[in-house]
Amino acid sequence: MDKESLPGRRIQAVLLFFWAGYFSIVLCSNTGDALKVLGWLPANWIFVSGNYEMVRSVVGIYHPPSWLAGIFFAGVIGWQAIGAVLLWRAFGTVVQQTPGQKAAVYRALTVTIALWAAFLLSDEIFLAYEIPSLDATHFNLLVAEIGTFLICRKDSGW
């Protein structure tokens, strides 16, 4: 690797590390929330996101069966798990400069950017934009990840 590309590789690694850590932490807090709701964690368990209740209230506008919020929340947790794993792998490929790093980074960011896009679509379908700052949060995270993609693409010469 030439010296000129080293700063770009470092910023890619830092950004991928951040997103991998972010998705891992959110995954853990959402999983804690789900386990608490299921009664598998004690009622005084602190590390929970509170997102299950938000999902329940958001989908509740259409008065669906009570299990639907659980299905949606489980889907989000699964999507976050896949995203976290892919981001950690992408981080590893960038740090180690292994072949296939471009594909690993694209794969990870495609999965996680798609999650934010799905949240924005859900915000519209379930009128969740009426919850203060929820759609703005999803939009800001989408834009931030698109920015990460553009930085990775620019600084790598892809």
Task: Show pLDDT as tens, one digit a residue, over the chain (158 residues).
Answer: 555 577 888 999 999 999 999 999 999 999 999 999 999 999 999 999 999 999 999 999 999 999 999 999 999 999 999 999 999 999 999 999 999 999 999 999 999 999 999 999 999 999 987 888 999 999 999 999 999 999 998 755 55
pLDDT of residue 30: 98
Predicted model pTM = 0.93
Q: How far apart are CA 18 and CA 52, in angstroms?
A: 24
Q: How far apart are CA 104 and CA 41, in angstroms?
A: 35
pLDDT of residue 6: 77
Tokens encoding 100: 């296939």
pLDDT of residue 86: 98
pLDDT of residue 131: 86
3-state helix, strand, coil in the chain (%, to 5): 80, 0, 20
| Residue 92 Ramachandran class (φ > 0 left, ψ -120 to 50 alpha, else beta) | alpha
Asked whether the beta carbons of 109 and 94 are under 8 A apart, the reply is no
pLDDT of residue 146: 98
Domain range list for the chain: 3-156
Asked whether the beta carbons of 15 and 91 are under 8 A apart, the reply is no
- Is the Cα torsion angle 57, 83, 109, 87 positive or negative in sign? positive
pLDDT of residue 10: 92
